[in-house]
Amino acid sequence: MSCRIAPSILSADFGHLADDVARLEAGGADWIHVDVMDGRFVPNLSFGAIVIETVRKLTKLPLDVHLMVVEPEGYFDSFAKAGANNLTIHAEVAPHLHRQLARIRELGCGAGVALNPSTPVETVREVAAELDVLLIMTVNPGFGGQSFIATSPDKVRRARALLTETKSRAALEVDGGINRETIAQVWRAGADTFVAGNAVFAAADPRAEIGALRALCTERA
């Protein structure tokens, strides 16, 4: 199983966004992760459809859009139109999860579910076989630059087991505090897709940092 590195543009310099996206491409990034926050589900505000549209014009890389919002279905059409490839919604705000995932797929996007640190993996058992992405939050969502939660590898291990049991082909993504010190732990636990924001953009050479993170994903437990 190969690993995917998905740098989060939450940490990019928006005054030089084209340059930053070009650096990510040159460094071999697999996806670009776009964090959408509404100030309600999480205590912060971030991007909308215009930013997705802007990034879409700058790259052909898949745009992995993470909706940290209440009533996410209100964003599906505009984000798909703007160029999102994956739309991942939070189980905590999706009482009609099956229907919402079906709608995302109708729009031609990969359908994902994100779980907060305190949300059990079992929450997604009934839809696991239909997921394109299962995103395990390894920090509490809302802010970049937080510390990795130490119990996360065990949760990732349980998530991998659930995907295997349900014959799901979903990418198992982790987001939060991913850097050189933590990536190997969640890789060995079964994750295959890694969101890295600060680790990439705070590095002296973001291109080299992507390679360094990938190089740490070499052996499974």
d(CA 138, CA 136): 6
What are the backbone angles phi and psi of residue 117, rounded to the nearest 5°? Answer: -55, -35
CA distance 176 to 24: 18
Q: How many residues does the chain have?
A: 221
Contacts of 209 (CB under 8 A, 6+ apart): 27, 196, 199, 200, 203
- Annotated catalytic residues are 35, 175
Cβ atoms 56, 17 nearer than 8 A: no
CB neighbour list of residue 172: distance below 8 Å, 6 or more residues apart: 134, 136, 156, 159, 160, 163, 190, 191, 192, 193
Burial class (CB in 10 A: 0-12, 13-18, 19+), 144: middle
Q: How far apart are CA 31 and CA 193, in angstroms?
A: 9
